């Protein structure tokens, strides 16, 4: 195997590792977002709602399905939380999730 092939394989492994890490961070962000929303809505079973938010991300590519679910659920609960606020919280919690994964939490 040439050094070029070895370098290419190394880049592929690094890319795969980074993609897996980002997938985990997104799933953790969705769980944290679900916990945040469940607490705002005063739900008793926070973990069930957080799992539902994580599952909603599997419906379509991207984060719009999660954004839509949480925004609609908050609105349905009578809370005046705008989509922009939920999107902002998603970005904030993604940074938190990445930090937790890097620190081994």
pTM above 0.85, yes or no: no
Positive or negative CA dihedral for 55, 43, 63, 92?
Answer: negative
Cα–Cα–Cα angle for 23, 55, 78, nearest 5°?
Answer: 120
Encode pLDDT of 63-103 as tens digits. 899 999 999 999 999 999 999 999 999 999 999 999 999 88
Residue 86 CA: distances (Å) to CA of 4, 16, 73: 45, 29, 11
**For residue 17, is pLDDT > 70?**
no
Q: How many CB atoms lie within 10 A of CB 52?
A: 15
Model pLDDT, residue 13: 73
Output DSSP code: residue 61: S
All domains of the chain, ordered by start, with CATH? 3-103 (1.10.790.20)
Per-residue pLDDT of 23-62, as tens digits, reads: 899 999 999 999 999 999 999 999 999 999 999 988 777 8
């Amino acid at each position: 195997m040439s050094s070029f092939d070895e370098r290419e394989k190394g880049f592929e492994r690094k890319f795969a590792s980074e993609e897996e890490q980002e997938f985990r961070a997104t799933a953790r962000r969705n769980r944290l977002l679900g916990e945040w929303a469940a607490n705002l809505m005063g739900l008793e079973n926070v973990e069930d709602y957080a799992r539902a938010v994580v599952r909603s991300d599997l419906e379509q590519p991207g984060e719009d399905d999660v954004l839509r679910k949480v925004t609609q659920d908050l609105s349905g609960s009578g809370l005046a939380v705008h989509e922009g606020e939920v999107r902002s919280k998603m970005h904030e919690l993604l940074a938190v999730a990445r930090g937790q994964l890097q620190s081994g939490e």
